[in-house]
Structure 1
């Protein structure tokens, strides 16, 4: 994070930023993503496991994920997916899994924390599916999550795991002894339909449960009144590099805005924290965008609200690094 006084132009600020900021993205060396967090593994049947992890943060330029079983890579997963099934396992066996993120320029993250899972024993000639899950219900858990609950199956019925489906696609799996699960990565103010399916050791699946419908509420970061207004952006050349000179008006949040996130081309660039009292009225800041003339950048920012959450993004502006070193301003009101 960068601290400075209002109205100060930081010509040297690229030196002090981390590799994940805009400066690191322009020095010719791609930064490796951070290790995936929240990795879990759940037996899906006697011969398969379901591996899940948290999506990488926005500032990590992730191109995909690699899943490793006992140190050997067994699957590549696209960047917009954070779960996968690993098949071909042996019943009554224990396995370990890790996940690595692949970034730009062939970079890879460190291995995630290691998780282990034991596959159950198979049941010969088992073709009978478990009974349909009952008592399935759901509620929103904030603006971006939901909690799905259900009744415990009488006698277990040989169930190994439960799969949660959204719109016909499996999005989550939990162990047989679970009676609830949290579904994340939802959108605020959106209507969803969920069903639950039980799975046994022979990979037989039950009929889908009744459909649970719910609507997530709008969160504070989705309220347009939390967005900075009047954003202006102008390209400027100085000391052989280009900068975007920004100015904006803080949103009215009922308190001081302590920090902002700045994004370039919809990717995290840096976090700005005021070194003293936040400015009143229009604030200014200068962000490094690179050394190449004739490049175009889209700029936007959002404020940190008094409750610690991030508000809505400002309107987006475009700056162009002029080939003849003359400043080029984006159109704005």
Structure 2
């Protein structure tokens, strides 16, 4: 009996899986780091994603060699706040992985915070004439006419679906966006900002659809979506996609979450469609609205470019 027990134990040990090799490879250093002063006390830092053999799990931002921010792997920009006015600051970024391996520091970038000014509560005007041009399947370039301010514009912030995705200095009127998805509808807006951190209203949105990946079907998103807030309600209008058959169903999503399915009880209206729905949130509540259509094969198509609307 004892011999049999020992034989079974040895067999089990021989069949055990070998431990996974230890991860000793560090991520690559973040590239494309930029730093832009947005006010007398803030600097906006951005960078491109690092790579790792098993995956980057986060980034750390350093000022003058001391860590000031820890960020998740999906975040590629941040505002460093509480800085001294009219002072030159140096920034680097490092990536790390789950095993604790840390990349070399990025190239050092500098930015000089603005001089402190007298109290300023007047925001800039909204940038105008915004247009967006796709650059292949994963990038786009935005152009706009400059905003005006009683002191001066110090930065322009680019928003997609009401989330800031890019910042450029106040002297710029163009921005190049990367990391977009192929065959996807986007809507971008731009806000101007002054040294006192006053932000302008949004510019009018600019829509674009990136090129589809090779061999992928054409984009099927609803087009020319508008969203208008009334008292206790929001009205949407749009042009359904061309699918070769009438589009009878649309899905409505608010802030990225499914809300309802819009179903026409009879033949869908020709041309532009309209739908009004009630909202109970207090005035000032912001919604990001997207739509997608049910295709003739029963699947759901691509999402429309988002629209942001504020409850009145």
What is the TM-score normalised by the length of structure 1?
0.57
- What's the offset of the Cα at 1:59? 3.9
Contact 2:126-2:147 at 8 Å conserved across structures: no
Match status 1:200 vs 2:194:
yes
Aligned to 1:139, what secondary structure does the other structure show?
strand
Q: Work out which of the residue numbers 172, 178, 188 in structure 2 matches 1:178.
A: 172
Give the distance between the partners of 2:53 and 2:205, measured in 1 at CA: 36
- What's the offset of the Cα at 1:107? 0.9
Aligned to 1:38, what secondary structure does the other structure show?
strand
Give the distance between the partners of 1:58 and 1:28, measured in 2 at CA: 14
Match status 1:213 vs 2:171:
no
Aligned to 1:136, what secondary structure does the other structure show?
strand
1:160-186 CA-to-partner distances (Å, cap 9, x unmatched) read 100000000000000111110011111
What is the TM-score normalised by the length of structure 2?
0.61
Give the distance between the partners of 2:120 and 2:149, measured in 1 at CA: 17
Aligned to 1:105, what secondary structure does the other structure show?
coil
Aligned to 1:210, what secondary structure does the other structure show?
coil
Aligned to 2:145, what secondary structure does the other structure show?
coil
Aligned to 1:64, what secondary structure does the other structure show?
strand
Match status 1:68 vs 2:57:
no
- What's the offset of the Cα at 1:69? 0.2
RMSD: 1.9
Aligned to 1:171, what secondary structure does the other structure show?
strand
- What's the offset of the Cα at 1:140? 0.7
- Change in Cα spacing, 1:57 to 1:202, as seen in structure 2 (3 Å) is same
Give the distance between the partners of 1:212 and 1:26, measured in 2 at CA: 49
Contact 2:147-2:192 at 8 Å conserved across structures: no
Contact 2:125-2:149 at 8 Å conserved across structures: no
Match status 1:130 vs 2:116:
no
User: Which structure ranks higher in relative contact order (CA pairs < 8 Å, sequence separation ≥ 6)?
Assistant: 1
Matches within 5 A, 1:311-330: none
Give the distance between the partners of 2:54 and 2:148, measured in 1 at CA: 45
1:179-205 CA-to-partner distances (Å, cap 9, x unmatched) read 100111111111101100001001110
Give the distance between the partners of 1:63 and 1:99, measured in 2 at CA: 14
- What's the offset of the Cα at 1:57? 2.9
Other-structure match for 1:87: 81
Range with greater deviation from structure 2 (155-164 or 185-194): 155-164
Matched pairs, number: 199
Give the distance between the partners of 1:214 and 1:139, measured in 2 at CA: 7
Matches within 5 A, 1:28-39: 28-39=22-33
Give the distance between the partners of 2:77 and 2:51, measured in 1 at CA: 16
Q: Which runs of 5+ in 2 are unaligned?
A: 1-18, 218-312
- Change in Cα spacing, 1:200 to 1:60, as seen in structure 2 (3 Å) is farther
Other-structure match for 1:99: 93
Q: Work out which of the residue numbers 13, 17, 21 in structure 2 matches 1:27.
A: 21
Contact 2:159-2:190 at 8 Å conserved across structures: yes
Q: Work out which of the residue numbers 147, 151, 160 in structure 1 matches 2:141.
A: 147
Aligned to 2:38, what secondary structure does the other structure show?
strand
Give the distance between the partners of 1:60 and 1:200, measured in 2 at CA: 42
Match status 1:78 vs 2:72:
yes
Contact 2:28-2:52 at 8 Å conserved across structures: no
Match status 1:50 vs 2:44:
yes
- Change in Cα spacing, 1:188 to 1:58, as seen in structure 2 (3 Å) is farther
- Change in Cα spacing, 1:213 to 1:119, as seen in structure 2 (3 Å) is same
